[in-house]
Chains A and B, each alone.
Chain A
Amino acid sequence: MTDQSTLFAGPDAIIDQIAAWRGEGRKVAVATVIRTWGSSPRPVGSQLAVDESGAMVGSVSGGCIEGAVVEQAIAAMNDRRPRRLEFGVSDAEAWHVGLACGGRVEVYVELVE
């Protein structure tokens, strides 16, 4: 789970953080919501940036799938290949993190190189 301040970071705060991480010599990957179906919590274009330690800023779901996306982001840093991920946000998971979602999202994960 992310805390409120990173979860609701605006788009400019996210790209500034990517630049800051890269300035410190860290590997960074960025995940972007590219498609949504039904009542997904974050609109198309929403982004989550992840550094090599798993630190993150922004969000692609409001908490439901960030853990899985971070794993794939770190994998993308290692093999340097982008990936497309699709998630069905189940009601059970949604309840777990206190969200009234239940839609599906497709996320594109890429390395910042």
Chain B
Amino acid sequence: MKAETLEALRQARAAKRPFLVVTELAGGAQAWGSRPAELTGDLTLTPVEIRAVERRQRDDASGVEAAGERELFVQVWAPPLRLVLVGAVHIAQSLAPMAAIAGYDVTVIDPRGSFATTERFPGVSLSSDWPDEALEALAPDTRTAIVTLTHDPKLDDPALDAALRSPAFYIGALGSRRTHAKRVERLRALGHGEEAIRRIHAPVGLDIGASTPAEIAISVMAEITAALRREPEASEVAA
């Protein structure tokens, strides 16, 4: 690996851009960059190899590719996973560290001053902006999950409105079926159609009989994992 490749990789990670390093295993020649068709370096890929690299990037699957006569190792660096929690509540206190262990950059949004404090959320990015403004600043992408937890329509609704306008791969909303039915009516009034409404996981989390805040956090983390790993179509819904 060249110093130049390492620097380009670090810049891509900092900018949350995807990155690829393709290595010809026999000689060590490499190509790198964010898009398979526009890689630079001392290795030139054939059209067949480019398609193979595209497939690996889409599937987030590093591995050896032997599409032609040579063996290539394709290292896929997907942008970091992010989890945005709206509501610095008890469930968030369990969910934030669980998500961090699972590899997510976690941000907690809560404009109510005494909730989102570093004492309650050590090591987590906190925002006290209004949820729609905070989400706009965070610019959720296809590697972002968003969960609303406040139970307060004044906070959850603008968050969901912003979430539905983003390509986030997972959107979850805490609340009972009844609460959600009312919420759906309000979101429809804001102009969201059936397809958008279907993106919201509500009641949030897998049905594992969760009762305590930590158990609910487990069920939410499991559902986010399923959306990431088992339902690729969910991440392809355009904003």
Taking Cβ atoms with an 8 Å cutoff, the residues of A that contact B are 10-12, 15-16, 18-19, 22, 30, 32, 34-35, 44-45, 81-82, 84, 108, 110-113
Contacts and interface: CB of A to CB of B under 8 A. Distances in A.
Contact of A110 (B1, B10, B61): B1
Given A45-B62, A110-B28, A19 B6 contact: yes
Contacts, number: 47
Interface of B: 1-3, 6-7, 9-10, 13, 23, 25, 28, 61-64, 73, 75-77, 80, 103
A45 B6 contact: no
A84 B23 CA distance: 12
Contact of B62 (A44, A81, A82, A112): A44
B23 A108 contact: yes
A110 B9 contact: no
Contacts of B3: 22, 112-113
A109 B1 CA distance: 10
Contacts of B103: 10
Given A15-B6, A45-B75, A30 B23 contact: no
B64 A35 contact: yes
A44 B59 CA distance: 13
Q: Is the interface of B mostly helix, strand, loop or mixed?
A: mixed
A108 B6 contact: no
Given A44-B62, A44-B63, A34 B25 contact: yes
A11 to B, nearest CB: 7
Contacts of B28: 81-82, 110
Given A34-B63, A45-B62, A12 B73 contact: no
Contacts of B76: 45
Given A34-B64, A45-B75, A84-B25, 14 more contacts: A11-B77, A12-B80, A15-B6, A15-B10, A19-B10, A32-B73, A35-B64, A44-B61, A108-B73, A111-B1, A112-B1, A112-B2, A112-B3, A113-B3
Nearest to A36: B63
B75 A15 contact: no
A51 B3 CA distance: 15
A11 B80 CA distance: 10
A18 B21 CA distance: 16
Ranked nearest first, the 7 interchain pairs of A and B with the lowest CB-CB distance are A45-B62, A82-B28, A34-B73, A44-B62, A112-B1, A44-B63, A34-B64
Contacts of B23: 108, 110
Contacts of B61: 44
Contacts of A30: 1
Contacts of B7: 19
Central interface residue in B1, B7, B61, by most chain A CB within 10 Å: B1
A30 B5 CA distance: 13
A41 B76 CA distance: 19
Contacts of A18: 6
A30 B80 CA distance: 21
